[in-house]
Amino acid sequence: MTATRILTFIPHAVGHSTLGLMRLVGRVTLFTFSALSHLLRPPFYFREFSHALLFIGYFSLPVVGLTALFTGAALALQIYSGGARFNAETVVPSIVAIGMVRELGPVIGGLMVAGRVAASIAAEIGTMKVTEQIDALVTLSTNPMKYLTVPRILAATIAMPILAGIGDILGIMGGYLVGITRLGFNSAAYLENTRDFLEAADVISGLWKAAAFGFIVALMGCYHGMNSGRGAQGVGRATTNAVVSASILILAANYVLTEVFFSA
């Protein structure tokens, strides 16, 4: 490549991908508004909603619970060794609790659910799209936004805070188990320390985050599924894109929401 070609190539490539990104943001925004407007208008498909709730909520419990448990346990060890540098080992219970509840419970839970749920929603809806099942829904007078998207988004937004709440408890339990077995904490003192420093606002801010992450996960799964390309390859790409975009959006939203709660 000559120098001039490189010089024109770079701005061209940057401009191209910027435009592509803007177009994507526009489309996702329109999709979101469309989903929200369908949420508010009947009919509401209760059966689809309860299936989604079962799949997204109940069947994600083991994944979210186990990751939270191990994260809490590791966090206790890290904070203990970090705290030891300025003789502050006693902060372990409160920092584990605050860290889990405000940050790691919702974020790690959200990312795990993104891997599990965004992928499967995108694969299912994408397959329905390439096998003309979405077209068939339309010809049977059923709006795919109402029938497929709304129940999943609602279910994920409701299920995710519950999952995060359970994750919070298991994460604190992980820290507690490590604390009393490995770090020499007294069981009663550990629990008291956790209780004394944890505020309701910490828990609530984390649960709000989780609700936002649940919304993001289902939205990305549905969006990429509905816009899946043709054939098996199209569905594969939709699935990958759903997981990647849900994960990135969760981390970005986490920062924004943390700023909001931080200044509040």
Partner 1 sequence: MTRAMIELEGVEKAFGANAVLRGVNLSVGRGESMVIIGGSGTGKSVLIKCILGLVKPDAGTIRVDGADATKGDRDAFLARFGMLFQGGALFDSMTVWQNVAFRLLRGAQKRPKDEAREIAIEKLRRVGLKSAVADLYPAELSGGMQKRVGLARAIAADPEIIFFDEPTTGLDPIMSGVINELIREIVGEMGATAMTITHDMSSVRAIADHVAMLHDGVIQWTGPVEEMDASGDPYLEQFIQGRAEGPIEAVR
Cα radius of gyration (the chain)? 22
Question: How many residues interact with partner 1 (rule CB under 8 A)?
Answer: 14
- Tell which one of 141, 184, 255, 262 touches partner 1 (CB under 8 A): 141
DSSP structural state of residue 59:
G
Question: Counting beta carbons within 10 angstroms of the beta carbon of residue 115, is it exposed (0 to 12), middle (13 to 18) or buried (19 or more)?
Answer: middle
Provide the sign of the torsion angle of the four alpha carbons 259, 217, 237, 17, taken in this order: negative
Residue 49 contacts partner 1 per CB under 8 A: no
- In the complex, the smallest distance separating the C-beta of residue 233 from partner 1, rounded to whole angstroms, is 17
The only residue of 15, 20, 26, 43 in contact with partner 1, by rule CB under 8 A: 43
Residue of 4, 139, 262, 264 interacting with partner 1 (CB under 8 A):
139
Contact residue for partner 1 among 18, 29, 81, 131 (CB under 8 A): 131
Q: How far is the CB of 18 from partner 1 (least distance, A)?
A: 23
- Hey, what amino acid is at 188? A
Write phi, then psi, for 242 (nearest 5 degrees).
-65, -45
Among 132, 192, 199, 259, binds partner 1 (CB under 8 A): 132
In the chain, DSSP finds a helix count (H) and a strand count (E) of 12, 0
Buried b (16+ CB within 10 A) or exposed e, 183-209: bebeeeebbebbeeebeeebbebbbbb
Q: Which of 10, 135, 189, 233 binds partner 1 (CB under 8 A)?
A: 135
Q: Which is nearer to partner 1, 144 or 175 (CB)?
A: 144
Q: Compare residues 90 and 131 and give the one whose CB is closer to partner 1.
A: 131
Q: Are 175 and 93 in contact (CB under 8 A)?
A: yes
Verify binding: residue 140, partner 1, rule CB under 8 A: yes
Choice between 79 and 134, CB closer to partner 1 = 134
Which C-beta is closer to partner 1: that of 45 or that of 261? 45
The backbone region for 130, taken as left when phi is positive above 0, alpha when psi lies in -120 to 50, beta otherwise, is: alpha
Which lies closer to partner 1 via its Cβ, residue 138 or residue 260? 138
Using rule CB under 8 A, residue 138 touches partner 1: yes
CB of 155 to partner 1, least distance (A): 15
DSSP one-letter code for 40: T
Q: How far is CA 194 from CA 2, 54, 228, in A?
A: 64, 32, 47
| Side chain identity at residue 100, one-letter code | M
Nearer to partner 1, 94 or 143 (CB): 143
133 binds partner 1 (CB under 8 A): yes
Residues engaged in binding partner 1 (CB under 8 A): 43, 45, 128, 131-133, 135-142
